Amino acid sequence: MAERIAVTVNGTVYTVEIDHLDHAQGTPVEVRVNGRPYTVQIGQPAKAAAPEAGPQPAAAVPQPPPQPVARKAAAPVPAGDGQAQRVTAPMPGKILSVAVEAGDQVQLKDTLCTLEAMKMEMSIAAPAAGTVREVHAQVGENVVYGDLLFVIE
């Protein structure tokens, strides 16, 4: 039976479901946040930055993927080297349009989709040239920070 935990992050409440928490520290664990699946690492609670803030359990907050969003990437990894680029949502918002399909060829900084966040439209750009392998973004879908939108190889 899954354990349910309510977690508040930046004023937004998320329902986190954890099936089994008996894994060793550092082992990936599957969780669901508001019904969406994530793989997280279980670790020690983070140390508080200020004395008034208490420790927060590491398993309760989805871990962002290791690859940053295109606008924040230091240097894009060229496609064709076998390493896939994961394009994730840089902030919560709503997908307004999707410009690519699986199998499409894209160039560095090509628009993949448009995200509406805080009444502003933001183009999500390709972090590298390559082939779109997976499209997870759907028009009208609400996304949160770190949600996987595309995979490019």
What is the domain partition of the chain in residue ranges?
A: 3-60, 70-152
pTM over 0.75: no
Domain 70-152 part of CATH 2.60.120.330: no
pLDDT (0 to 100) of residue 79? 45
pLDDT (0 to 100) of residue 32? 73
Give the CA angle between residues 36, 71, 144 to the nearest 5°: 20
Mean pLDDT, rounded, for 53-71: 47
pLDDT tens track for 66-117 = 444 443 333 344 444 567 899 999 999 999 999 999 999 999 999 999 999 8
Mean pLDDT, rounded, for 54-58: 48
Give the CA angle between residues 143, 129, 38 to the nearest 5°: 30
Q: Is pLDDT of 4 > 60?
A: yes
Count Cβ neighbours within 10 Å for each residue of 64-95 and write b for 16 or more, e otherwise. beebebbeeeeebbebeeeebbbbbbbebbeb
More confident residue, 50 or 88: 88
More confident residue, 71 or 65: 65
pLDDT tens track for 104-150 = 999 999 999 999 988 899 999 999 999 999 999 999 999 999 999 99
Query: Using CA atoms, how far apart are residues 151 and 139, in angstroms rounded to an integer?
Result: 17
